[in-house]
Amino acid sequence: MVYENPDGVRIGLEVHVQLNKLNTKLFCGCSTNYHDSEPNTHVCPVCLGLPGSLPVINEKAVEYAMKIGLALNCSIVEQTQFHRKNYYYPDLPKGFQTTQYDYPIAGEGKIVIEGEDGERVIGITRAHMEEDPGRLQHMGSIDKSKGTLINYNRSGMTLIEIVSEPDMRSPKEARRYLDKLRSILDYLDVFDGDLEGAMRVDANVSVFMGERVEVKNISSFKGAERALLYEIMRQKNHIRRGGEITLETRHFDEARGVTLSMRTKETENDYRYFPEPDLVPLRVADRVPEVLKTLPELPDAKRARFVKEYEIIDMHARALTTEIKVANFYEDVAAKVDPKAAAVWVADILKGELNYRDLNVEAFTVDDIAEIITLVTEEKITENSGVEIIRTILDNGGKPQDIVKEKGLLKVEDDIVAKAVEEAIAENPEAVADFHAGKEKSMNFLVGKVMQKTKGRADAREAREKLIDKLNE
């Protein structure tokens, strides 16, 4: 079905990615490992921009930026350059931010997401490098705060700002774009997305092809989706009441789920960009072949390989390749057991149980899931028992063979199942009558009775087949 976008929604995202896996900041040697430190203990004259201090570019940061650009199918500029973006906030004491302006390191890329009506290509306008400012910590909500604290530990951290085209048509597509971007960055191993502030989102949104509004500093993907839903509704209601949408910057209050006006939107002229005199232009095009060799297999390529190499369905391949840790886990399991069975158990069952408990795949071992799959495929235990073993390990620990013994999960013999089938039929004449009257739900009831009598150790599919055979005699 074609998604017609009845409200004319256009969404473009600016995502700030903090390269927190670099050991040092963008222009100085301060450590990037500040998250558990006291405020204002990871600072120096350079990252505070004190008079007389001079920046020195972090070569590894440039390499990481190029990797990201190439992974997003961007072209890498011949020569890049830093500029001073002039504005004053308390978290930026030197009065300007060192960033890139008309020579961003990468541009004109694209990524593919699952849109409202199938796969969609989202354009990447540019990806440029810049330094992170410090962090303001408001005492309460931003509009009612009694005071604000400033922590400069993150000042000078390397940021890559990835700017998309306004190609997304709904908050759901925006969320999927963010998920895909996070997946690619995880594959590149250039950042730890679980650390606070690792990815921050500014969203530009308009309705009915009108003026855009920017919602700044959204700190979570869930928050981005909520902010967009609210902002789209606010703009539509404002227009219906005869109002006009004007260019402005708004703040998203996550606690209340609303956007609040901050200021009219600045234009490029307001920032008075001029070249950073303390940093020479960098010629980076010559390093592209060298950086290309460091790119890993990315999610889309891995998904295609899984389908071809392991002959699994695309839905499973997609679920298995979203996270690099899950993809690696699956390949290790597939090396021990049938790859198709491994895909079902990892993608459909194990991931579901992990998500329910908010755990990642490292909470389980390759050997344990391979052993469970083997027990099921050799018909020593039922699928239900396999799921029970997974749940027991995640909740209480233990090993599969021990849990099988402790819980008596070995599959029952055929004659025991046959006896349970006969008893279930004899004890439930109404359900039998309903079955013969064509009421299919009665079969589920009878299967449940058989499972109850065998204490869950019968195979539900086999029990169903035996019931149907017996009832049709």
Spatial separation of the C-alpha atoms in residues 250 and 231, rounded to whole Å = 9
What's the Cα-to-Cα distance from 60 to each of 53, 163, 186, 224, 324, rounded to whole Å? Answer: 21, 22, 17, 30, 22
Spatial separation of the C-alpha atoms in residues 366 and 331, rounded to whole Å = 10
SS3 168: strand
Distinct helix (H) and strand (E) counts, the chain: 18, 16
How many C-beta atoms lie closer than 10 Å to residue 100's C-beta?
Answer: 23
Which candidate, 402, 400, 407, places its Cα nearest to that of 376? Answer: 400
The residue ranking higher by pLDDT, 246 or 357, is: 357
* pLDDT at position 173: 96
Mean pLDDT of all residues in 267-272: 76
Instruction: Render pLDDT for 284-311 as a digit per residue (tens, 0 to 9).
Output: 999 999 999 999 999 999 999 999 999 9
Q: Which pLDDT band holds residue 255 (cuts at 50, 70, 90)?
A: confident
Contact yes or no for 66/100 (Cβ under 8 A): no
Q: Which pLDDT band holds residue 60 (cuts at 50, 70, 90)?
A: very high
Which candidate, 341, 347, 338, places its Cα nearest to that of 317? Answer: 347
Spatial separation of the C-alpha atoms in residues 71 and 458, rounded to whole Å = 49
Beta bridge pairs of residue 201: 15, 218
* pLDDT at position 142: 66
Mean pLDDT of all residues in 445-464: 86
Beta bridge pairs of residue 204: 12, 214
- pLDDT higher than threshold 70 for residue 258: yes
Q: Which pLDDT band holds residue 239 (cuts at 50, 70, 90)?
A: very high
* pLDDT at position 312: 97
- pLDDT higher than threshold 80 for residue 412: no
Mean pLDDT of all residues in 119-140: 92
Q: Which pLDDT band holds residue 265 (cuts at 50, 70, 90)?
A: low
* pLDDT at position 339: 97
The top-scoring range by mean pLDDT among 235-244, 338-347, 453-462 is 338-347
Mean pLDDT of all residues in 116-129: 95
Q: Mean pLDDT of all residues in the chain?
A: 92
* pLDDT at position 236: 93
Cβ neighbours for 295, distance < 8 A, ≥ 6 positions apart: 67, 70, 71, 188
Mean pLDDT of all residues in 227-252: 91
How many C-beta atoms lie closer than 10 Å to residue 276's C-beta?
Answer: 20
* pLDDT at position 463: 86
Alpha helix (H) residue ranges in 7-74: 45-48, 59-71
Q: Which pLDDT band holds residue 214 (cuts at 50, 70, 90)?
A: very high
Q: Which pLDDT band holds residue 472 (cuts at 50, 70, 90)?
A: confident
CA gyration radius for the chain?
28
